[in-house]
A and B are shown apart, each in its own frame.
Chain A
């Protein structure tokens, strides 16, 4: 078991998401930055779909009641074991009674904590990813317990280490495909979609709202499927990038579709950050 001593800003369990239930209106969910969540799992030789803890900006404080191995990837949020600083992208032994905490956010927004074998919370519709109304919780709070698998650590090498001088998310260019409604707009209008863009308030696991009015329009579509990474253009001319907890259908023109890596990069950007879209071919 792991006990949540402090919840942090927004801490939830995520895996690769709830695939196969779109026809019920159930969102995909899963790690916002699947690249970093994947790193953390890979360092421990976990399965790609093992559940990790998604930690947002201000991290939680956790106490381990079993020995295990951990690895943290993604945002650099000054992690510590029993008050000793540790590094991202490195495997650590955890003993019974150890306390993991986080400090000052240095780089990025979302950090991923993996434990050997993955967190063992309830599986609902084939996934452990938290989502309000599907799982019994949508975020972890103080005094919650999360089951883990006991791992006697001295039997396992802890030399796994992945060193990237620059994190992959430190770019301000997001690669996108044309969305299914891109061609509703003429060349000049399309060009406006590539201007500088700023992440606005009300950006969360459902979607990121961008501040600029890039293109007012009166083009409407009949409500149709959307995906995480779909970029919608509202009639008042603003862009919304749908993220992992997004609804399954939408009624605004879909101008772009982010790659999985672009979703991960965006998930690591703060409100107020600026970036551009860059078109790539399918």
Chain B
């Protein structure tokens, strides 16, 4: 499948003394995200020495730069020209990452409540949650937290009225229209439906997180027994997250 070559009107905003915010139209869309991912890889390819950091999420990129080496106006025009020169958005391979989740109620603290609210069985919730390839719209909030898009409408559920003071690392939850994984122990208000034994963020690895925005996440259900096996493999450093190349 060939991506159509769409050029967006970008807005370049100065953000403090040493950063440029580049905004795409105010909407959440896979086409925009892939356009951004393509553009970020183009910027990185050019190895511009005065750029110190880049991150992006949903429809915007932040480029940090050394203001002693370059000013806003010059950098803006360099980046804008780079964008206008684009040829294709298909320059990077994308993956679907298979994330094991144990939905047992030992971990899925709110699964029972959610089933009651939705007037369905727990199995039906698990089935729906495991039937989507969720698009990674960005990494932020906490180290290794993935912003995922694509939660089925029937699983939308407001956050808990009383947030928990400690949600265990690896917990998988639903908050409003989003689903996600807690990358570390932290306070949180999401409805917790399961837990993954794997760490998507490993500070000891050369690349602490291999998943990139534009990739997709697929959850699959595992038993308590499998949870333990995978957890032990992770501890021994011999578990590899399964991934498949994504077309298009």
A-to-B contact residues, CB < 8 Å? 19-27, 124-125, 132-134, 177, 179-180, 221-225, 227, 229, 247-249, 254, 257-260, 282
Chain B nearest CB: distance from A121 CB in Å? 15
**For the complex, is B83 an interface residue (Cβ under 8 Å from A)?**
no
Contact flag A24-B144 (CB < 8 Å), given A124-B203, A225-B21, A259-B17: yes
B-to-A contact residues, CB < 8 Å? 13-17, 19, 21, 23, 26-28, 52-62, 64, 72, 138-145, 147, 183-184, 201, 203, 208-209
Which listed residue (B14, B183, B184) contacts A282, Cβ 8 A? B14
Docked-complex contact B141 and A180, CB < 8 angstroms: no
Docked-complex contact A224 and B52, CB < 8 angstroms: no
Which listed residue (B14, B26, B28, B139) contacts A25, Cβ 8 A? B139
Chain B nearest CB: distance from A137 CB in Å? 13
Which listed residue (B15, B16, B64, B140) contacts A249, Cβ 8 A? B140
Closest to B62 in A: A225
Chain B nearest CB: distance from A75 CB in Å? 25
Contacts of A247 in B (CB 8 A): 140-142
**Prevailing SS type, chain A contact patch:** loop
Docked-complex contact A229 and B16, CB < 8 angstroms: yes
12 new A-B contacts at CB < 8 Å, known A180-B21, A227-B16, A248-B140 = A20-B52, A21-B53, A22-B64, A24-B139, A25-B140, A25-B183, A133-B142, A133-B184, A223-B147, A224-B21, A227-B64, A259-B16
Docked-complex contact A25 and B142, CB < 8 angstroms: yes
Greatest chain B CB density within 10 A among A222, A247, A257, A260 is at: A222
Contacts of B16 in A (CB 8 A): 177, 227, 229, 257-259
Closest to A22 in B: B55
Bound CA–CA A187/B62 (angstroms): 26
Docked-complex contact B143 and A25, CB < 8 angstroms: yes
Docked-complex contact A24 and B208, CB < 8 angstroms: yes
Contacts of B59 in A (CB 8 A): 222, 224
Docked-complex contact B62 and A22, CB < 8 angstroms: yes
Bound CA–CA A258/B141 (angstroms): 20
Docked-complex contact B139 and A225, CB < 8 angstroms: no
Greatest chain A CB density within 10 A among B23, B27, B58, B184 is at: B58
Docked-complex contact A22 and B28, CB < 8 angstroms: no
Docked-complex contact A23 and B15, CB < 8 angstroms: no
Docked-complex contact A22 and B53, CB < 8 angstroms: yes
Docked-complex contact B52 and A19, CB < 8 angstroms: yes
Docked-complex contact B60 and A225, CB < 8 angstroms: yes
Bound CA–CA A268/B72 (angstroms): 30
Which listed residue (B14, B62, B143) contacts A133, Cβ 8 A? B143
22 A-B pairs with C-beta separation under 8 A? A20-B52, A22-B55, A22-B62, A22-B64, A24-B144, A25-B141, A25-B143, A26-B208, A125-B208, A177-B17, A180-B13, A180-B15, A221-B26, A223-B140, A223-B147, A224-B60, A225-B62, A248-B55, A248-B141, A249-B138, A249-B147, A258-B16
**Which 5 A-B pairs have CB atoms at the shortest separation, nearest pair first?**
A249-B140, A225-B62, A22-B55, A257-B16, A224-B60
Contacts of A177 in B (CB 8 A): 14, 16-17
Contacts of B56 in A (CB 8 A): 23, 225
Greatest chain B CB density within 10 A among A133, A260, A282 is at: A133
Docked-complex contact B145 and A227, CB < 8 angstroms: no
Docked-complex contact A24 and B143, CB < 8 angstroms: yes
Chain A nearest CB: distance from B72 CB in Å? 7
Closest to B16 in A: A257
Contact flag A19-B201 (CB < 8 Å), given A25-B142, A282-B14: no
Contacts of A180 in B (CB 8 A): 13, 15, 21, 23
Contacts of B209 in A (CB 8 A): 24
Docked-complex contact B53 and A19, CB < 8 angstroms: yes
Closest to B59 in A: A222
Bound CA–CA A180/B15 (angstroms): 6
